[in-house]
Amino acid sequence: MAALRALLPVVRRPLRSWPGCAALRPFASEADFKYILTEKKGKGRNVGLIRLNRPKALNALCEGLMAELNQALAAFEADPAVRAIVVTGGEKAFAAGADIKEMQNQTFQDCYSGGFLSHWDQLTRVKKPVIAAVNGYALGGGCELAMMCDIIYAGEKAQFAQPEILLGTIPGAGGTQRLTRAVGKSLAMEMVLTGDRISAQDAKQAGLVSKIFPVDTLVEEAIQCAEKIASNSKLVTAMAKESVNAAFEMTLTEGCKLEKKLFYSTFATEDQKEGMAAFVEKRKANFKGQ
Ligand code: HXC
């Protein structure tokens, strides 16, 4: 009880504002960014591309970078022209983890009362599909960031790891949870307890990655996948994403119930009528997202 009482002042204190915790606002222009590059890609410019761009530090995920990433995600989420998002890094590194130099002197008090990392999962709240295109290192927070995306494509030299144990800490942005769900307990436990890296090929075999491409075509392939997704109904795509993600949160019975409700809901959309009519009339569907 005494220990609980001692914690109360900490709990009551408002979250200190880590830069990334600031309210999300759409960016005014791409020139605002220091650590990322953004662009609209694809034939219909309907794919939002976010490139982590801090090459000298192998895209270490400093607070400034994470704040910019969240801003760019919010802007693409709010942009009706953008239908899917690709997050990528450089050839050597997708991201070599959270910024160790920023973290090294943090105290428990700083982390706990400041809500350290509390803004990292913004990516998981994006309704539009997000594809991670991973070349090079995806380590620690970099691997966790990739796992928050909906699909992971890897370049053939990509390497994935949760090496936090080698720094005297553990993954703190979902690594122990998402990795375990993705690759199963034995491999996840081995990676988390040893810090060993796995190759793109092993990651694909384990189910962490869906496809592998040559380094120089990876991002284009991810954009093409995003365009394919963008050609489907925006509304129904969001429902499909919600339903797949529910598999990580619910029991099988609950998940199937949610799926059935969402399935029924698609019959209230114009896009379901259009999709099925197009099949019967042997033509391409023209989805309006309604
Ligand atoms: C800060 C980093 C960094 C990181 C690399 N750098 N990773 N800075 N945080 N995570 C910096 C280096 O300090 C160096 O800067 C520059 O990037 C190039 O790195 P080198 O080590 O010289 O390159 P190389 O020899 O090719 O080795 C590459 C590497 C190695 C194997 C990726 O850098 C490495 O092991 N990095 C740390 C990986 C890691 O432990 N990640 C987990 C972080 S903890 P200078 O200024 O010296 O040139 C984490 C916790 C997550 O992510 C918790 C929840 C989010």
CATH number at residue 244: 1.10.12.10
Question: d(Cα 144, Cα 159) in Å, to the nearest integer?
Answer: 13
Pocket test for ligand 1, best of 100, 176, 177 (most atoms within 8 A of CB): 100
Same domain, residue pair 90 and 186 = yes
Beta-carbon contacts of 14 under 8 Å, excluding residues fewer than 6 positions away, are none
Give yes or no for residue 192 having a pLDDT over 70: yes
Which residues lie closer than 8 Å to 81 by C-beta, 6 or more apart? 40, 44, 45, 46
Q: Of the residues 195, 216, 231, which one is the last residue of a structural domain?
A: 231
Same domain, 249 and 148: no
How far, in Å, is the centroid of ligand 1 from the Cα of 35? Answer: 16
Kindly report the pTM of this predicted structure.
0.90
Please give the share of the chain, as a percent, with pLDDT higher than 90: 86
Length of the chain: 290
Whether residue 204 is found in the same domain as residue 259: no
Mutate to test the pocket of ligand 1, among 53, 58, 70 (most ligand atoms within 8 A of CB): 58
**What's the mean pLDDT in 92-98?**
98
Do 96 and 46 share a structural domain? yes
Question: How many domains does one find in the chain?
Answer: 2
Q: What pLDDT does 31 receive? A: 56
Distance, CA of 164 to CA of 215 (rounded, Å): 26
Identify the band that residue 34 occupies on the pLDDT scale cut at 50, 70 and 90. very high
The number of beta carbons lying within 10 Å of the beta carbon of residue 26 is 12
Structural domain including 188 reads 36-231
Please provide the average confidence, as pLDDT, over all residues in the chain: 90
Question: Parallel, antiparallel, or unpaired for β 130-134 and 151-155?
Answer: parallel
Between these two residues, 181 and 14, which has the higher pLDDT value? Answer: 181
pLDDT at 243: 98
Looking at the chain, the number of H-run helices and the number of E-run strands are 12, 10
Cα separations in angstroms, 215 against 88, 147, 162: 12, 19, 22
> With a 6 A CB cut-off, is 57 part of the ligand 1 pocket?
yes
**β strands within 90-240, DSSP E:** 93-95, 130-134, 137-139, 151-155, 159-161, 198-199, 211-213
Residues 170 and 261 in one domain: no
Contact, 127 vs 241, CB < 8 A? yes
Residue 11 lies in a domain: no
**Predicted confidence band of residue 191 (pLDDT cuts 50, 70, 90):** very high
Q: Tell me the per-residue pLDDT of 2-18, one tens digit each, with 9 for 90 and over.
A: 443 443 333 333 333 33
Q: How far is CA 59 from the centre of its chain?
A: 15
Asked if 174 and 246 sit in the same domain, the reply is no
* Residue after which a domain boundary falls, among 231, 246, 265: 231
Give the per-residue pLDDT at 118: 86
Q: Work out the pLDDT band at 59, boundaries 50, 70, 90.
A: very high
Query: 60 lies in a domain?
Result: yes
Verify that 194 and 246 share a domain, yes or no: no
The pair of structure tokens assigned to 238 is: 């969001």
115 pLDDT band, cuts 50/70/90, is confident
Let me know whether 173 and 186 are in one domain: yes
User: Could you tell me the CATH number of the domain that includes residue 200?
Assistant: 3.90.226.10
Residues 175 and 58 both lie in one domain: yes
| Per-residue model confidence (pLDDT) at position 2 | 43
Per the domain annotation, does 260 fall within a domain?
yes
pLDDT tens for 136-177 read 999 999 999 999 999 999 999 999 999 999 999 999 999 999
User: Could you read off the pLDDT of 132-145 as tens digits, one per residue?
Assistant: 999 999 999 999 99
Quick: pLDDT tens for 195-251: 999 999 999 999 999 999 999 999 999 999 999 999 999 999 999 999 999 999 999
CB 88 within 8 A of CB 219: yes
Domain shared by 271 and 204, yes or no: no
Distance 194 CA to ligand 1 centre (A): 17
Cα-to-centroid distance, 152 and ligand 1 (Å): 22
